Amino acid sequence: MTETPLLNITSSNQSENRSNSAICPEQDDWWDIVYYIVPKYLNAVCAIGMPGNVFVLLIYSLHKGPLKIAEIYLMNLAVADLIFLMGLPFWAENIRNEFNWPFGSFLCRSNSASISLNMYTSIYLLVAVSVDRYLTLVHTLSHRRIRSKTVAKGICLLIWFFGILLSIPVFMFRTVKDYPLWNVSACTLDFPTPSWITAERLVRSVVGFVLPSTAIISLNFSTIRSLQKKTRARRALGTKDCKGHKGTKATRLILTVILMFLFCWTPHHFFVFLDALYHTEVIKGCFWEELLNFGEQFAYMLATTNSCINPVIYVFVGKYFRQKALEVFSQFIPCGFPLKWVSLKEMSSNFNVFSVRSSLT
């Protein structure tokens, strides 16, 4: 996920000067909607996502069994989402306060950097999960040495290092800056030259979205095609085994992952790309300025939802995670206590919902 999109007027000295020479009509009614809806939504995402991700970490940490490779990635994904979610209340208050940042320069820098860190780490962890799923379901035997827990932990460390490296410019150039024309002191990226702005947006779009999302889509669709071929081959031979049935369920989960990821993130990066065009004056005028101002707010609001629902689409729909949760809870419940709710575990096996055993082995 990326830093909270501020008004385009706070992006650079260039945009400030341009706006001073051509003031666009006021849109107070629309901004009142932004100030009312977006903070409430961000706080709701935080309130739902924080317990969900904490629950995921607790289950994986307290369970006595060893973690599987994909679970290592999912634990790191939960940590990345928690880092992002902890910063949401600050940004919600910032927007509610009409983009006046009341928390000082250090929190401006650190929160912006942590959110930028989350954007890179979370999406590349999804790439790692996709690679692991591809090797698991398509190349089961030929890549066993690559699929080790030591390699998975090393990949996680590299992803975190990569995310920190790409977040350094955000930490360096974020500052609280006064804009007398709009009567705000905003937490803004104050780059030294306009070329930095274009470069930052291109890196964010290409490195933070286009390349990893292309990899995710390609890997997952390759996995889907492989599963479908195996299913057709089994049907042609008239064999019915449990692996084929699980493969079909894994295919549904993969499609859900792809569609939800694109649904949440494509609008945000679309507006990031438009913003790069705006700052290079490929597109200009009041229409584009207002479209970017309002579009970025609601696209970012949608993007934050991904951290809220990740525990659901990656973990909670998994039968084996539910089994782990029941085993963890049973450790803290006295012997002989009637676990009537354990029947939910048995009922879950009868549902035609997504099983992630294939993706977690």
Question: Taking a C-beta distance cutoff of 8 angstroms, is the pair 7, 101 a contact?
Answer: no
Q: Estimate to the nearest angstrom the gap between the alpha carbon of 176 and the chain centroid.
A: 26
d(CA 323, CA 328): 9
Q: What is the DSSP letter of 311?
A: I
pLDDT score of 239: 64
Residue position matching structure tokens 């419940």 = 333
What lies within 8 Å, CB to CB, of 201 at 6+ separation is: 272, 273, 275, 276, 279
Per residue in 270-284, pLDDT (tens digit) is 988 888 888 788 888
Nearest to 113 by CA among 45, 169, 177, 43: 169
Confidence of residue 152 (pLDDT cuts 50, 70, 90): very high
pLDDT score of 107: 92
Nearest to 130 by CA among 222, 264, 229: 222
Confidence of residue 196 (pLDDT cuts 50, 70, 90): confident
Nearest to 275 by CA among 264, 286, 262, 291: 291
pLDDT score of 47: 94
Q: Which residues of 42-63 are buried (b: 16+ CB within 10 A; e: fewer)?
A: bbebbebbbebbeebeebbeeb
Confidence of residue 214 (pLDDT cuts 50, 70, 90): very high
Per residue in 255-268, pLDDT (tens digit) is 676 778 888 888 98
Q: Does residue 234 or residue 99 have the better pLDDT?
A: 99
pLDDT score of 262: 83
Confidence of residue 315 (pLDDT cuts 50, 70, 90): low
- In the three-class reduction of DSSP (H, G, I as helix; E, B as strand; rest coil), residue 184 is classed as strand
Q: How many CB atoms lie within 10 A of CB 137?
A: 23
Q: What is the DSSP letter of 139?
A: S
Confidence of residue 207 (pLDDT cuts 50, 70, 90): very high
Q: Which of 10-24, 142-156, 199-213, 342-356 has the highest mean pLDDT?
A: 199-213
What lies within 8 Å, CB to CB, of 188 at 6+ separation is: 6, 10, 11, 174, 175, 176, 177
- pLDDT for residue 254 is more than 90: no
Q: Does residue 196 or residue 25 have the better pLDDT?
A: 196
Residue position matching structure tokens 């790191």 = 76
- Residue 175, strand partner residues: 188
d(CA 119, CA 107): 18
Mean pLDDT of the chain: 78
- pLDDT for residue 316 is more than 80: no
- pLDDT for residue 344 is more than 50: no
pLDDT score of 242: 55
Q: Does domain 8-327+352-360 have CATH number 1.20.1070.10?
A: yes
Question: Taking a C-beta distance cutoff of 8 angstroms, is the pair 271, 295 a contact?
Answer: yes
d(CA 139, CA 175): 48
Question: Taking a C-beta distance cutoff of 8 angstroms, is the pair 126, 163 a contact?
Answer: no
pLDDT score of 157: 97
Question: Taking a C-beta distance cutoff of 8 angstroms, is the pair 38, 95 a contact?
Answer: yes
